Structure 1
């Protein structure tokens, strides 16, 4: 299982650059850590980056120091975390049931769309899920298996480390709630484990040890500094980016039923089996199966936790996926013998193949539709044609796989489809989009236009632009208001108009420049960008100041 997963999930490693939405941001911070030697407080350009703790960026920076290649390093933590999560899923299912059930659990997780998608991305969430699964592994082992203290300590430490990886890493501790509600039944069952009184203090100690990996040195650095920016950073990341973001989210606001949509799409093909799984889980829970009870109850608590927050993203629910696969695993041998389940799964493979082949065929046959998509995404026509061709190839292969497997081998077809999907994604689809989606081609074009020695200033930039820009490069803040960035940039450009240029969002570059001298760069990140030469500046003009007052003392 691990060998097959490694082949599919590692396919394409080193063949593409970081792409939005999140990858360039983390790689930019990791790059600055390596270059500056300051690993404690991450930065985004000249500003402190307070949206996420730096643990994931540490891993990327360490991977770079080990490989010397950012294209490999930025994806390596997610790849290793995905393989580790698969092993933890397998091992916990083996301890709770047996090796056969463990195999079903691991392959069920590998076949789920969201797992492969996150394993192929350089984002925090796969590492977070490794931490939460490790914590769940430790707590479940302690409560239901051998009851060893080491398992409890691993669970607490992993939950703490997950919390400083991404704030919700504490979620596995919610497992203690269904255990507590079930405590009276546990006491009556001589064969069930209970938390020994002497071990209770060790769980919070282990949790705090995991949190202290980053939080303790950060707080010590803040306490010993008079820098107001550092104090604002600590307040922002500890309060605004955690509690305030959960209670009063300012973006990604979604309706309460949003995660039902996530389950119905990103948790395919497992979501298709819920009509069989839900009643089977209920029957086992009524018969007193605490393994199913704890796994399902904890997953429902995670769902409720994120549903209560107005801010919702599809990745928030991801930590519950391994637990659901483990809970489903003991039922899968029986379910996969049912004709209805077999037809449903083989239908999923056929539908996925037809969907991919149909999308690719439409792009190849309808030039107008393809051009609109290319224009909206900032893609060249040959790139879109290559992408469409690969979609047709992949879709046809999946349909042929389903025809070979037929109904009796539906489970093999589902796993094979997943392996093929992520292999071709890594080797063909991702690299085909790379030059455009990573902004590498755009920033190479900029450097070609201005010359290798010219100074470039960035205004209203995105992380991929700074990451891909060849030096010398300057920026005027990221979270700063665009108008304030433009004022600083115009003053900077005016100091040496012959040697300096500005790369700016089209709508921002409007004051104090001659529109006829702006150089359009096209569309990237769904926005239009322009290049502003020093010769485009209007003499004596100051952004935001009426022209009549420019020369007044």
Structure 2
């Protein structure tokens, strides 16, 4: 239901909120190139798709890349065509996904509760550190987050406000797009498990209809267990509970659920069938290996027997505490309220809360864990918190605690920046050297001070009685100040742009460059076509082939990570190209190759 004229204040509040979100999430776009570890990889593959016209099989250099499905690369390539430059295009999918996730979170909160609750849910999401940090980078996870949240929203509205089969089909379709994004988009369908349990237990779920209470006028809604009763766009309502314990599902809906399954499979098959047909039709061993790795090794095998990022089962408890700050600090305060709501059979709390716990359990059971895995649970966690946010904010001690956090954050940033500026400790010098910053990195430490200052200014303006506003204002300002200050300062090093400019100048106008043990940002920032000898191959094999390539004609140089120098290169005759992303890079021509490593028939350049 669209907001009507009577809801203009809510519409304006949401508009101002989205404008704030745009400023926070978009700050810095256009000021930097892709940064490691993930951004250059996806931008490089998107560029190669545009150049080659090969959209079904992403390539990283000459190798097929089978770690992830290609949806993000498609989005970056499409947005490059619209924006005309990679500096904007590679970050736009994350920005749009982040804004979309906030909008969907507000939408489902408003439909299930009211506009204020929807705004509170979106606000809690925007206040979480992990959400903003991930959305401000060009990764697959913001797209996955959006599709999973949209999938959850559609299923929630169908299960709790329905039957609403269009919302259900939209949710299933979004879950399918989530699979094309990263494989685990299917997790959105887990929302049906707590729904089925609640229905079995006789809770008021599917088929519930909210109607305005007779004679309610403009009265405040009744509150049960600290949660406002069912509302529609801010109007008080009462429930007509149409289900009773043991009541069977309504007949005639089988084809509608089948349509939901088809909506889920549609985007998956639209990608999978052409890819499989092309791979099988070509008979290419590389493409067949790509299919095998993508569909089996990177999914089931990676989950059941992960070969990297092995962590203990309780790993994500620490992730939620640290990465969801400051919102995670509310979780202990909400436990008794959630318990009371569940005793009162509040399905609007049960479903997002249970889905959050199911996702936590799913990722805790696999040995391989990364902080980013739990991000899709954050919007549902915010939705479960939102009905109680206003009540908590009335607590004076909470306002004072938030005020203390704002002062502490600002003081720590100012102290760290001043310490690095005045004391020049070893850690500060090492960080500055890693970024190739002049003058001991003084500009960077001033950026740290600049990011901390808004916390203290907000605290001075808001005072302890509005401590939450001070903390949130400081966080928002820091998210804007930090990228605007640091992106221009660090980009030449982080993107390897400066390194590749020096390498291009070193080889001269007629020289050629080959890469060994390279990283994606080097190939992305190359000023001219370069030779590379595989990405995932052992560096010894890359170096052997590179030396054979170099020996074929004069004027060929090799750029490699210092770890690949080995015994074949005389370091005294090589040239240090510089440091990028705290890795040391060297260049050499044929004269620096030791005689024992020269290919048969090859000769050192004079």
Category of TM-score, reference length = shorter chain: over 0.9
3-state secondary structure, aligned to 1:409: helix
Give the direction of change, closer, same or farther, for the CA distance of 1:327–1:192 in structure 2 (3 Å limit). Answer: farther
Superposed, which structure 2 residues align to 1:103-502 within 5 Å?
A: 103-186=119-202, 191=241, 196-369=253-426, 370-375=428-433, 377-382=434-439, 384-496=441-553, 498-502=554-558
CA–CA separation in structure 2 for the residues paired with 1:383 and 1:192: 70
- TM-score by length of structure 1 reads 0.95
Give the direction of change, closer, same or farther, for the CA distance of 1:501–1:338 in structure 2 (3 Å limit). Answer: same
Give the direction of change, closer, same or farther, for the CA distance of 1:213–1:349 in structure 2 (3 Å limit). Answer: farther
User: Post-superposition shift, 1:178?
Assistant: 1.0
Q: Which stretch shifts more, 362-371 or 8-17?
A: 362-371
1:504 aligns with 2:560: yes
Q: Name 1:520's counterpart in structure 2.
A: 576
Q: Name 1:24's counterpart in structure 2.
A: 40
Give the direction of change, closer, same or farther, for the CA distance of 1:281–1:44 in structure 2 (3 Å limit). Answer: same
CA contact (8 A) 1:269 1:348 kept: no
Alignment counterpart, residue 592 of structure 2, candidates 526, 536, 539: 536
Larger radius of gyration: 2
CA–CA separation in structure 1 for the residues paired with 2:97 and 2:436: 32
User: Post-superposition shift, 1:391?
Assistant: 1.2
| Structure 1 segments unaligned to the other structure (5+ residues) | none
Q: Which stretch shifts more, 278-287 or 475-484?
A: 278-287
User: Post-superposition shift, 1:275?
Assistant: 1.6
CA contact (8 A) 1:93 1:105 kept: yes
User: Post-superposition shift, 1:540?
Assistant: 6.6
Relative contact order (alpha carbons < 8 A, sep ≥ 6): 1 or 2 greater? 1
Aligned-CA RMSD value: 1.9
Superposed, which structure 2 residues align to 1:87-102 within 5 Å?
A: 87-102=103-118
Give the direction of change, closer, same or farther, for the CA distance of 1:101–1:491 in structure 2 (3 Å limit). Answer: same
1:36 aligns with 2:52: yes
Give the direction of change, closer, same or farther, for the CA distance of 1:382–1:244 in structure 2 (3 Å limit). Answer: farther
CA–CA separation in structure 1 for the residues paired with 2:413 and 2:192: 43
CA–CA separation in structure 2 for the residues paired with 1:365 and 1:441: 28
User: Post-superposition shift, 1:288?
Assistant: 0.7
CA contact (8 A) 2:63 2:535 kept: yes
Moved over 6 A (4+): 187-190
User: Post-superposition shift, 1:539?
Assistant: 4.6
CA–CA separation in structure 2 for the residues paired with 1:216 and 1:513: 48
3-state secondary structure, aligned to 1:39: coil
Q: Which stretch shifts more, 415-424 or 51-60?
A: 415-424
CA contact (8 A) 1:47 1:477 kept: yes
User: Post-superposition shift, 1:314?
Assistant: 0.8
Q: String of CA shifts for 1:108-157, please: whole Å, max 9, x gaps.
A: 11111111111110111111100000000100010001321111111111
1:8 aligns with 2:24: yes
User: Post-superposition shift, 1:347?
Assistant: 2.2
User: Post-superposition shift, 1:278?
Assistant: 1.5
3-state secondary structure, aligned to 2:309: coil
Q: String of CA shifts for 1:342-394, please: whole Å, max 9, x gaps.
A: 1222222222222222222222122243212223x343134832121021122
CA contact (8 A) 1:144 1:192 kept: no
CA contact (8 A) 1:25 1:463 kept: yes
Give the direction of change, closer, same or farther, for the CA distance of 1:452–1:280 in structure 2 (3 Å limit). Answer: farther
Give the direction of change, closer, same or farther, for the CA distance of 1:192–1:234 in structure 2 (3 Å limit). Answer: farther
CA–CA separation in structure 2 for the residues paired with 1:145 and 1:381: 60
Alignment counterpart, residue 93 of structure 2, candidates 65, 74, 77: 77
CA–CA separation in structure 2 for the residues paired with 1:541 and 1:13: 46
Equivalenced residue count is: 544
User: Post-superposition shift, 1:426?
Assistant: 2.6
CA contact (8 A) 1:371 1:381 kept: no
CA–CA separation in structure 1 for the residues paired with 2:268 and 2:595: 55
Q: String of CA shifts for 1:146-182, please: whole Å, max 9, x gaps.
A: 3211111111111011011001111111111111112
CA contact (8 A) 1:158 1:207 kept: yes
1:65 aligns with 2:81: yes
User: Post-superposition shift, 1:462?
Assistant: 0.6
3-state secondary structure, aligned to 1:379: coil
Q: Which stretch shifts more, 498-507 or 87-96?
A: 498-507
Q: Which stretch shifts more, 504-513 or 394-403?
A: 504-513
User: Post-superposition shift, 1:526?
Assistant: 3.0
CA contact (8 A) 1:246 1:309 kept: yes
